Amino acid sequence: MFYRESGDFSTTYPQDSQTFPIRFDRYRYYVVLAVAFLVIPFIINDYWANAVFVPFLIYAIAAIGLNILTGYCGQVSLGTGAFMAVGAYSCYKLMTAFPDVSIVIHVLLSGGITAAVVTLFGLPSLRIKGFYLAVATLAAQFFLVWLFNKVGWFYNYSASGQISAPERSVLGIIVTGPNTEAWAKYLICLVFVTLCAIIARNLTRGSVGRRWMAIRDMDIAAEIIGVNPMGAKLTAFMVSGFFVGIAGALFFSVYLGAAEVGESFGIDKSFLVLFMIIIGGLGSIFGSFAGAAFMVLLPVFLKNVFVGGLGWPTDLAAHLQFIVSGGLIIMFLIMEPHGLAQLWRLAKEKLRLWPFPH
């Protein structure tokens, strides 16, 4: 019934190689975009923007970034939190140093700076593999957090050691600072997410992406068939860093407004993003979105159930939330190790044959 290719013939090469070759899929994608851009901004309010949509969109960018590195190229990174901090701090420095330049350019530049830093920390990956590399990225996590804490230049020697975003606007609409409207926050994040997802999707299905996946599946074999491991790994670190940096810049400037590095970009953030891509599905752009949505919604949902529904004290609810989210992660790993993206794929297979499965 749904997702059928019959009658869906490609007559030109561009048609054959488009992102969504099945017509139904393509229309669904347009509908989702239309709803996200044209419906939600009109009905969104502060609570939904701050608790659900804005963090979801920003984490989705970070998850796409980490998924490129870990899911597509197979290099496990536990430094995502600190890399987001690089994005946040470079955005802050740029915003305060060049107040006249548009914030969009600042965010993109922060992505570029983060890409450079991440590539630097990616250099050891040429020698170190597997868990050793994962632990090595922790070096980046702790070192960068310490650096941003200790060196006053990064936070402009402010007394509290915090960085706070000044008010900036895009096309006359305020997007950072305390006076931002909910829909403005949502829309600027949405624009970045859409662009990032399109770029990531096209990178991963092109020759760069195929090189990454060859390295992931077996690096020596990839090297023998002519993939340059240094080039492939470092481009993965670079592209991943770019996305993570954008996520960090938006997280600080649009979502938080003010940030302190140890608290906002600590190691738990690294784990959170890693959870997102594992639960969503390694090596899938859709999975990055699904995982981000799951991990953002879960605490909101649990808090509503335990505190709102059952009326238990908040500290107890916080502990139970630990147990439930940990338990859910384990359950997911046991029942569906390939994540929500795999469930989605299975559902599509089923829908294709529905209602006549035989």
Binding footprint of another protein on the chain (CB under 8 A):
70, 76, 124, 127-132, 134-136, 138-139, 142-143, 145-146, 149-151, 218, 220-221, 224, 267, 271, 274-275, 278, 312-313, 315-316, 319-330, 333-334, 337
Question: Under DSSP, is residue 102 helix (H, G, I), strand (E, B) or coil?
Answer: coil
Which CB, 38 or 220, lies closer to another protein? 220
Query: Rounded to whole angstroms, how far apart are CA atoms 294 and 42?
Result: 24
Which CB, 70 or 119, lies closer to another protein? 70
Asked if residue 245 lies in contact with residue 86, where contact means CB atoms within 8 angstroms, the answer is: yes
- The nearest distance, CB 281 to another protein, in angstroms, is 12
Q: What are phi and psi of 21, to 5 degrees?
A: -70, -25
Q: What are phi and psi of 195, to 5 degrees?
A: -60, -45
Which CB, 219 or 243, lies closer to another protein? 219
Place of tokens 């980046």: 140
Which CB, 21 or 130, lies closer to another protein? 130
Which CB, 36 or 307, lies closer to another protein? 307
- The nearest distance, CB 37 to another protein, in angstroms, is 34
Which CB, 183 or 275, lies closer to another protein? 275
Which CB, 75 or 253, lies closer to another protein? 75
Q: What is the DSSP string of 139-198?
A: HHHHHHHHHHHH-GGGGTT-TTS-EEPPP-EETTEE-SSTT--HHHHHHHHHHHHHHHHH
Asked if residue 214 lies in contact with residue 222, where contact means CB atoms within 8 angstroms, the answer is: yes
Write the DSSP symbol of residue 258: E
Of 279, 161, 88, 327, whose CA–CA distance to 80 is shortest?
88
- The nearest distance, CB 218 to another protein, in angstroms, is 7
Question: Under DSSP, is residue 259 helix (H, G, I), strand (E, B) or coil?
Answer: strand
- The nearest distance, CB 159 to another protein, in angstroms, is 16
Q: What angle do CA 251, 112, 32 make, to 5 degrees?
A: 55
| The one-letter amino acid at 124 | P
Query: Rounded to whole angstroms, how far apart are CA atoms 210 and 82?
Result: 28
- The nearest distance, CB 323 to another protein, in angstroms, is 4
- The nearest distance, CB 307 to another protein, in angstroms, is 11
Q: CB under 8 Å to 123, separation ≥6 — which residues?
A: 234
Which CB, 186 or 212, lies closer to another protein? 212
The full length of the chain comes to 358
- The nearest distance, CB 312 to another protein, in angstroms, is 5
- The nearest distance, CB 41 to another protein, in angstroms, is 35
